Chains A and B, each alone.
Chain A
């Protein structure tokens, strides 16, 4: 289980996370929604130890990752997979090598075994036959799929998705959402998705949490969030201009 306790983080005097508390349940997909620039990605980077909090704790299976040394943190990170907003694929190597990268770094498998794993994963994400292309030769949707494949190749316990459908057309967004659901059913990881795509959140999330003003203001099932009485949540999920959300607030 991942627990964020009283997490606070400021950048240049601006508080992005303010006493944030949240628990992510094992093997469920939690979608964290909120406005762009509202601190969702910052929260995600705290979970994987890319950013250290000003105060508060990030507990992964009971271990406070803020106290770990680099090597210990790397051991914890082996439990994770992460899909970056723009894929963050290694642009100088082809798709096969991108997906094989974590295997080569952390296992001593034979080349034939690596090939089997990569081809199987390429099939799971619908990219069979594309393995020799480099990232610049494929579309945004395909890049996201490769990023998903790379994140899942070592069968991690926890998978983080940073805005997996941003920048994609509605059909491709839906395809990525379906992909997340299908791979979750197959691999049973704990998923944390950062998104401001409400329809996608309803579809993929077992739990939805709303981040606003640096903290979680509401958390519940998709149905509960849809029918929330909280005016901020209500304004956000309906996409209304009128309501309590101040457009000057980051």
Chain B
């Protein structure tokens, strides 16, 4: 009997663990949000984090956008040529980038680059008692470490998404006009014709949510870190994996609601 029930026990434990973790995350986000109202925002710290998430991520996000747009253009060409609608390549690239790939790929790249750094930095501070030192010095670690990162991610993700999408569209244009030798003007003209402002706004709204998700999970995992240097590695991996999964999950939910 026990053998029959064992898989269900495993599933039950997984569900309970997920709910427990989700609950802890929500409480953590709530605590962090409250600390905004308890203390004034440290703008110096916020700007440092915005530079780290934004300016320092420009190349990786830009390259991701560029190659994604170029690949999209080529792939769309093969399909569009069959049915004779190559003029639709522009809107296909632009809509894919602004509605979907721009926000998601930007979030995933920034999770890999900055989320891992947030988790490992805070995790190292945790295992070396630097977080305790902050508390002892009457500095709220949520206020000092979480809030600047969460706010910076909220602000910078949409900006980086705009860059990613724009560079992606340009990449698509380069392939369309120069490699495939199609009409330059059609690419831009059809984008204007088929793309609505709401496509851009909704994509940026997604980016705001992705920013909150990646920074909250990454800093949360940093604070959860135990077990010395191995623990830092383990929790950093968890931060990246969990952030990526939640971003993709949230993407589905938001796409269902917004579009």
Contacts and interface: CB of A to CB of B under 8 A. Distances in A.
Interface stretch (A32-40, A83-91, A111-119, A185-193): A83-91
A105 to B, nearest CB: 5
A144 to B, nearest CB: 14
Contacts of A70: 38, 140
A14 interface: no
| Majority SS at the chain A contact face | mixed
A50 B137 contact: no
Given A71-B38, A74-B140, A88 B130 contact: yes
A106 B138 contact: yes
B132 interface: yes
B128 interface: yes
A77 B135 CA distance: 8
B138 A84 contact: no
Interface in B61-109: none
A50 B140 contact: no
A88 B140 contact: no
Contacts of B137: 77, 101-102, 105
B168 to A, nearest CB: 35
B133 A88 contact: yes
Contacts of A78: 138
Interface residues of B, number: 15
- Size band of the A side of the interface? 20 to 34
A209 interface: no
Contacts of B130: 88-91
Interface string B124-141: 110011101101111110
Given A82-B133, A102-B137, A91 B128 contact: yes
A50 B130 CA distance: 13
B138 A74 contact: yes
A149 interface: no
Interface in A79-108: 80-82, 84-86, 88-92, 101-102, 105-106
Interface of B: 38, 121, 124-125, 128-130, 132-133, 135-140
